[in-house]
Amino acid sequence: MNRAERLARLLRVLAAIIAEPGLNPLELAERAGVSERTLRRDLAHLRDLGYDVAFTSGYEVQEKLNLEGRARRKPRGRGDDALLQAVAHAVETAGLWRDTDGAETAAPRKGRSRRASASALVLIPAGADDANFLYGTGFGVESGLYIRFGEGDDVLFATPLEVDRAREQSTVAKVVEDREAYVHGTWARLAARVLGERGITTVRVAPNLPAEHLEDLRALGLEVGVDRNLFVAERRRKSGKEAAGIQQAQSAAESAVVEVVRGLAEAEIRDGVLWSNGGPLTTERLYARAQQTLGELGYTCPDMIIAGAPASAIPHDRGSGPIKANAPVIIDIFPTSRATHLSGDLTRTVVVGEVSEEVRKMHAAVLQALDAGIESIAAGVPGQDPHHAVCQVLVDRGFGTTTRGFEGPDGVAKMSHSTGHGVGLEIHEPPQLKDAITTPLAEGDVVTVEPGLYRLGFGGVRIEDTGIVTSGGFKNFTTLTRSLNPQDYL
């Protein structure tokens, strides 16, 4: 940063102090468009230059500007105030700082706070699959701006490339084409201008808003609050249409799992490895078959898991390379609809060849745990209860978990993850079925139940169903067999 830019920043800080002396550090940093860390350095610099500005123990900025330097300690007169106002005006006129309230700088008034204003919602997508933007607008896009002023009063700004699709697909009252914000990447500046036209200075943003946009909005003078609960309750309670969409996604997952199992069942065993079409059967070939099946149905799942042993002992190992015979293969497919953006989630474990006694016992325990978890689900039940039910079964069957109080004996296969999670516009979303979650499940929650057991160097077994929470229990969206035998899927 050169001297001119540093001076401009110091003038912004001075102008902000002049306009509203007595601000707390966060407010002053926001007004001046700098970070709190930078503000502290700038105030120290100003003190070195002879201006008496400091943080007090109460975290307020004291403004006692002494334009003649430290040698003169006299009360400021009207001439001083006029000069300071002129400095602020010059800074604003030069474009180095903008009075975010849109009024001329007045004489200093202690303790003046920003005027109250309506809290609008501002969404700038973090990508085409941003679930909050999708839910708020009904439209998935990589670049754009959505502002909700109130119920039924909202606007979506779209690029020339996307405006026609936005008008066709979005649920927003007004769609406006904007070229400049897209070309220059100034969505935050566009938001500040539109909000300013309505006199709004306080906004809410999503918790996943990219940091650069958050900083830009605050630097432009907006009071920005991160709404950590944005759409959480609304997205949890699935409508009938949303539930049907997730059930369709689960059906697509079943079709893809069957196609993978078909490929496994058609293979022959050579030296402990599965062979097909003249070469080893690999995860990559099975992945391609599953993706083709999903694509024909209008779904995609780029991160699906098809993991043979020993990789199946690591729950989120995607799998790679040749598939071993006589060992468990975990198939975890969670497709997302290209039309509705809703997802399903399904896991099955199969073995081609001989099933060892250990795998058979692991599978039986996981299957019983799955049923216990499902039976414990109902509206009003704390999220930890299904998880504890699953853990108890696994321990009772001689295995263990990493959940405190359900560790089981040393050296046995263990479950190292939660029992389940919500599914909707995201594969993993609230609610959670895990230890220490006392929040009750609610009617309309769509959740997975997915117990598993894993032993490093050996392999793993996991079975997962997805369904919806009802007042009386759990309506399972999954119909596929849970067998270890590939032939039972065909």
- CATH assignment at residue 48: 1.10.10.10
Same domain? 269 vs 319: yes
Same domain? 123 vs 170: yes
Is 468 within a domain?
yes
Same domain? 269 vs 407: yes
Name the residue with higher pLDDT: 404 or 6: 404
202, 230, 258 - which closes a domain: 230
- Structure token digits, residue 217: 């909005």
User: Residue 238: phi, psi to the nearest 5?
Assistant: -70, 135
The residue behind tokens 């120290």 is 44
Confidence of residue 86 (pLDDT cuts 50, 70, 90): low
pLDDT at 480: 98
pLDDT at 78: 42
pLDDT at 186: 95
pLDDT at 38: 76
Q: What percent of the chain has pLDDT over 90?
A: 75
Q: CA-CA distance, 321 to 310, in Å (whole number)?
A: 12
Same domain? 130 vs 213: yes
Is 110 within a domain?
no
Cα–Cα distances in angstroms (integers) from residue 270 to residues 236, 238, 259, 309, 316, in the given order: 48, 48, 22, 16, 28
Is 311 within a domain?
yes
Q: Which helix (H) or strand (E) holds 202?
A: strand 202-205
pLDDT at 68: 37
pLDDT at 468: 98
Q: CA-CA distance, 119 to 172, in Å (whole number)?
A: 18
Same domain? 225 vs 246: no
The residue behind tokens 């509206």 is 379
Tell me which residue of 278, 246, 274 sits closest to 261, measured CA to CA. Answer: 274
Confidence of residue 46 (pLDDT cuts 50, 70, 90): confident
Of the given ranges (18-22, 202-206, 219-223), which has the lowest mean pLDDT? 18-22
Same domain? 246 vs 182: no
**209-255: pLDDT as tens digits:** 999 999 999 999 999 999 999 999 999 999 999 999 999 999 999 99
Same domain? 370 vs 305: yes
Is 474 within a domain?
yes
For residue 67, pLDDT over 50 is answered with no
Tell me if 225 sits within 8 A of 206, measured CB to CB: no
Instruction: Give the side-chain half-sphere CA count within 13 A for 406.
Output: 25
Handedness of CA 64, 70, 75, 78 (dihedral sign): negative
Residues 6+ positions from 477 with CB-CB distance below 8 Å: 246, 247, 250, 251, 344, 446, 465, 466, 467, 468
Contacts 24+ apart (CB under 8 A), 301-305: 301/253, 301/256, 301/333, 301/334, 301/335, 301/336, 303/334, 304/256, 304/331, 304/332, 304/333, 304/334, 305/330, 305/331, 305/332, 305/333, 305/347
Residue 172: Cβ within 10 Å count: 21
Confidence of residue 108 (pLDDT cuts 50, 70, 90): very low
Confidence of residue 61 (pLDDT cuts 50, 70, 90): low
Is 109 within a domain?
no
- The strand pairing partners of 154, in sequence order, are 148
Q: CA-CA distance, 187 to 183, in Å (whole number)?
A: 10
Name the residue with higher pLDDT: 25 or 287: 287
For residue 298, pLDDT over 90 is answered with yes
pLDDT at 377: 98
**412-425: pLDDT as tens digits:** 999 999 999 999 99
CATH code assigned at 173: 3.40.350.10
Q: CA-CA distance, 205 to 218, in Å (whole number)?
A: 11
Same domain? 328 vs 357: yes
Name the residue with higher pLDDT: 125 or 151: 125
CATH code assigned at 371: 3.90.230.10
User: Residue 330: phi, psi to the nearest 5?
Assistant: -90, 130
Instruction: Give the side-chain half-sphere CA count within 13 A for 138.
Output: 14
Same domain? 399 vs 276: yes
Is 103 within a domain?
no
Q: CA-CA distance, 64 to 45, in Å (whole number)?
A: 15
Same domain? 201 vs 254: no
pLDDT at 200: 94
Of the given ranges (16-25, 99-108, 395-404), which has the lowest mean pLDDT? 99-108
Collapsing DSSP states into helix, strand and coil, what is residue 175? Answer: strand
Beta strand residue intervals within 256-408, DSSP E: 268-270, 273-276, 279-280, 299-300, 305-307, 328-333, 336-337, 346-351, 400-401
Task: List b or e across 157-170, with b for residues whose CB sees 16 or more CB atoms inside 10 angstroms.
Answer: bbbeebbeebbebb
pLDDT at 3: 62
Tell me which residue of 358, 448, 469, 340 sits closest to 412, measured CA to CA. Answer: 358
pLDDT at 101: 38
- Structure token digits, residue 432: 């959670």
pLDDT at 113: 33
For residue 117, pLDDT over 70 is answered with no
Of the given ranges (23-37, 120-134, 217-231, 245-259), which has the lowest mean pLDDT? 23-37
Is 350 within a domain?
yes
Average pLDDT, the chain: 87
Tell me which residue of 223, 39, 16, 36 sits closest to 112, measured CA to CA. Answer: 16
- Count of domains observed in the chain: 3
230, 261, 293 - which closes a domain: 230
pLDDT at 41: 73
Query: Rounded mean pLDDT of 341-357?
Result: 98
Q: CA-CA distance, 345 to 422, in Å (whole number)?
A: 10
Same domain? 89 vs 205: no
Residues 6+ positions from 186 with CB-CB distance below 8 Å: 180
- Structure token digits, residue 409: 């004996």
Residues 6+ positions from 263 with CB-CB distance below 8 Å: 276, 281, 285, 286, 289
The residue behind tokens 């692991």 is 362
Q: CA-CA distance, 72 to 50, in Å (whole number)?
A: 10
Same domain? 175 vs 253: no
Range of the domain at 243: 236-489
Q: What percent of the chain has pLDDT over 70?
A: 82
Of the given ranges (28-37, 223-232, 269-278, 469-478), which has the lowest mean pLDDT? 28-37
Is 209 within a domain?
yes
